[in-house]
Structure 1
Amino acid sequence: MSTANQEPISYELDGEIAMIGLRRPEKRNAVSDRVVEALNLAIERAQDEAKAAVIFGEGTHFCAGLDLAEHMQKPLIGAVMGSRRWHRIFDGIERGAIPFAVALQGAVVGGGFELAAACHLRVADETAFFGLPEGQRGIFVGGGGSVRIARLIGAQRMGDMMLTGRTVSPVQMEVWGGVNYVVPAGTALDKAKELARLAAQNAPMSNYAILNALPRIRDMSSEDGLFTESLMSALASATPEANERLRAFLEKRTARLKAPDAE
């Protein structure tokens, strides 16, 4: 069945988790302006009614990046404004109110990698491969990759990928810091949902501080970062929910942490 006329983004609320799907499998989920705007609506909806979200791609690939056929038709100012639009929308993921997990399989290329980098928990299955072919296409990243991807894996590694067109395996990308988890083929979505559900159990103020204070502190001087940390720590601890959660822990009504390999 043709998917040409269907909505390019799917949205479903699974309990407290918003499931957001890229729905252009015939185009390897390439990102067009229509996709970006539909994604923006889904992100805003998720912030309003969910406690965490999962982004995934339908079909065998997560996202092959920018829709180049559409991009070629844009005037210079249109390309600049389109890039800035991506920045604002992806910022809504990275520095919003709820955590986003992303499930990655097949191509995670160009703008697809930029979208993944805006999420907080990145799960790649064994079929995933990462690429930044902008150098070979005569273009440059425009969805925030020069900031987000470079900070995840380092500017030198990102430059290598762009200059040479090399693709990187999920295992290597985990070593570099570009993904958080590598799982067997076909299981990335299940793992991403599991992680989103764990994050959804946290206090909303704690999640907000993690998503919004940590990246800002990274950009500050050490002294400014420590001062901001103190303020956020006090604010988070002052909420009624924090008081109840701390009391439950002290009264042994919640489980204590265990070593990763403990039964």
Structure 2
Amino acid sequence: MTTPDLQIEHRGAVAIVRLNRSAKRNALNDALILAIRDAFMNLPEGIGAAVIDGEGEHFCAGLDLSEIKERDAGAGMRHSRMWHAALEQVQFGPVPVVAALHGAVVGGGLELASACHIRVADETTFYALPEGSRGIFVGGGGSVRIPRLIGVARMTDMMLTGRVYNAQDGDRAGFAQYLVPQGTALDKAIELAGRIAQNAPLTNYALMHALPRIAEQPADQGFLTEALMSGIVQSAPEAKERVRAFLEGRAGKVAGG
């Protein structure tokens, strides 16, 4: 599914999906969004995790404003829903996804990052939602996903005032789970993805598909969903073998540090 604007590389069980519009700071146009959708819908067998990266100095500077067209309300709604369907393939696709963030993570770029399961930011990263100052509103799922990372109040502030978070403040606010030195986000993301790819696939599936839904359910429903998923996951042959390996001393124990 490689295109001029989206490069895909396989390193063992890890797929690296790289935005390749560095001259446009990897701004997202419709063709690139659809290429991302297709890439995650068509990952080959044997891929256990993926990394999304941006070529050049920036992860993604948001929507390519040169593509904004005159749309009526219905066309605008359908366009937004197209983005939703594409980013759904990232969040609820076949494998966990790690974002390697650097430079601009702005607007639609932040929406893309928020659809990933783990975010690794380097010290050059900055976050912004300039839609408010441009007379538009987020349309790629940001109003749902971003408040779950940083809260409604912070997102409201960003859109009303144009506030920009640097890497350190963004780390404290919850945009990313890891903050690493400049130029090392991709290496760290690949390291984490490699570790994730070693997990039992059904466990990864439960974490991607069940955990976020359980978090939104009332407690009694969440407990039932958890019990069902727990029973399904531990019944898998791979899970039984991993537990047996631990009990027989063939698997490492958790250690601090």
Assess, with a 3 A threshold, how the Cα gap between structure 1 residues 153 and 96 changes in structure 2: closer, same or farther. same
2:248 alignment counterpart = 251
Q: What is the rounded CA distance, in whole Å, between the counterparts of 1:19 and 1:155 in structure 2? A: 31
Contact (CA 8 Å) 2:41, 2:93: kept in 1 or not? Answer: no
Deviations 1:49-76 (A, max 9, x none): 4110000000001101011111134444
1:141 alignment counterpart = 138
Deviations 1:73-131 (A, max 9, x none): 44443322121011111111111221100101110000000000000010000000000
Q: Does residue 119 in structure 1 map to residue 113 in structure 2? A: no
SS in 2 for 1:103: strand
2:77 alignment counterpart = 80
Assess, with a 3 A threshold, how the Cα gap between structure 1 residues 36 and 62 changes in structure 2: closer, same or farther. same
1:242 to 239, 242, 245: 239
Contact (CA 8 Å) 2:84, 2:141: kept in 1 or not? Answer: yes
| Moved >2 Å (runs of 4+) | 45-49, 72-79
Moved more, 105-114 or 6-15: 6-15
Q: What is the rounded CA distance, in whole Å, between the counterparts of 1:90 and 1:37 in structure 2? A: 9
Structure 2 gaps, min length 5 = none
Q: What is the rounded CA distance, in whole Å, between the counterparts of 2:121 and 2:169 in structure 1? A: 11
1:42 alignment counterpart = 39
CA drift of 1:133 comes to 0.6
Contact (CA 8 Å) 2:58, 2:104: kept in 1 or not? Answer: yes
SS in 2 for 1:146: helix
Structure 1 residues 127-166: aligned runs within 5 Å: 127-166=124-163
Structure 1 gaps, min length 5 = 1-5
SS in 1 for 2:105: strand
1:3 alignment counterpart = none
Q: What is the rounded CA distance, in whole Å, between the counterparts of 2:163 and 2:113 in structure 1? A: 18
1:186 alignment counterpart = 183
TM superposition score normalised by structure 1:
0.94
Contact (CA 8 Å) 2:40, 2:93: kept in 1 or not? Answer: no
Assess, with a 3 A threshold, how the Cα gap between structure 1 residues 175 and 72 changes in structure 2: closer, same or farther. same
1:17 alignment counterpart = 14
Deviations 1:129-170 (A, max 9, x none): 000011101000001010000111000000001111010012
Assess, with a 3 A threshold, how the Cα gap between structure 1 residues 28 and 75 changes in structure 2: closer, same or farther. farther
1:221 alignment counterpart = 218
Number of residue-to-residue matches in the alignment: 255
CA drift of 1:177 comes to 1.6
Contact (CA 8 Å) 1:9, 1:23: kept in 2 or not? Answer: yes
Percent of pairs with identical residues? 51
Give the CA RMSD over aligned residues. 1.2
CA drift of 1:46 comes to 2.3
TM superposition score normalised by structure 2:
0.96
In structure 1, give the amino acid aligned to 2:255: K
Q: What is the rounded CA distance, in whole Å, between the counterparts of 1:132 and 1:191 in structure 2? A: 26
